[in-house]
Amino acid sequence: MEQGTRNIVVAGKSGAGKQPRIDVLTATYGLRQLSTGNIFREYLGAFRKVGEGLDVARFRRGDGFAPDEEIRAALAPACARAGVAPDAAVLGLKAARYVDGGRFVPDDITNALFASAFRAAAGRGLVLDGYPRTPEQSEFLLDLVRETGSRLDLVLLVDNEDEAIVARTIGRRICPNKDCGKVFHLEFKPPRDGKYCTACGSEVILRSDDTEEKIRTRLAEFQAKALPAIRRLTRAGIPQVVVPGNLPVFSDEAVRESVLGAVRPVLGG
């Protein structure tokens, strides 16, 4: 049944319910999830291990950076001591410049990090999550797939109405206790007395990313960039299937049936 390496892109608005669908795909097809969030954490982590006390500004050249060889040479001794791959530290340093400043990471940096992680996973089937998010990233991905002799089997789009996402997200509350972190919803999974974690008793909070204003900004971003990114893949002939983010009954089995019913006609099996 399994022929070659499967790579699947899972797309959808932030809060549409991608993760349960990704879980079905990784479990059913033996794939590994490759999330941009995790990629950034990994490379930033590599840099932080070796970059302490380093004057990062000396590697800046206007809007860009000094040549990679120069940065690599400066980081090499610390990398050798810490057992960190110098290339990963160089990429992490570049990403840190934007992430630490709370600024939008330019496509070329995101692409470089993604390509490095994608190549490192060569030959393993992947579920791409959070990438591509702009049409330029889609172009880059199509080239990378061609260049590495890999392929994209399909795009799974988890579709959810904006208003359903807003309602679900602003009702979300999390336990701020680092050892607990339980997630609640004021309507669907209420905390005790509407306020307290049922596991540890801490007063639950609204995540700073879950305000209505921030949610609507993310939804607009999806419309402006991520949707055209998906269309670019479709134009390149990658099949697209759409699954509903809202199910009449939300159970593991219902999610599984919904996802597999949609992807099997394309993937077989």
Tell me, by CB under 5 A, how many residues bind Zn ion. Answer: 8
Phi, psi of 192 (to 5 degrees): -65, 130
Q: Is 174 in the site for Zn ion (CB under 5 A)?
A: no
> How far is Cα 235 from Cα 107, in angstroms, rounded to an integer?
21
Q: How far is the CB of 193 from Zn ion (least distance, A)?
A: 14
Other beta carbons less than 10 A from residue 260's beta carbon: 16
- Closest CB to Zn ion among residues 197, 233: 197
> How far is Cα 18 from Cα 117, in angstroms, rounded to an integer?
21
Q: How far is the CB of 262 from Zn ion (least distance, A)?
A: 36
Tokens of 23: 């879980």
- Binding pattern to Zn ion, positions 134-173, x when CB under 5 A? ----------------------------------------
Q: Is 180 in the site for Zn ion (CB under 5 A)?
A: yes
Q: Is 122 in the site for Zn ion (CB under 5 A)?
A: no
> How far is Cα 97 from Cα 56, in angstroms, rounded to an integer?
8
Binding residue for Zn ion, selected from 22, 39, 155, 197, defined by CB under 5 A: 197
Q: Are 31 and 237 in contact (CB under 8 A)?
A: no
- Closest CB to Zn ion among residues 35, 202: 202
> How far is Cα 103 from Cα 224, in angstroms, rounded to an integer?
18
Q: How far is the CB of 197 from Zn ion (least distance, A)?
A: 3
The residue ranges that bind Zn ion (CB under 5 A) are 175, 177, 180, 182, 197, 199-200, 202
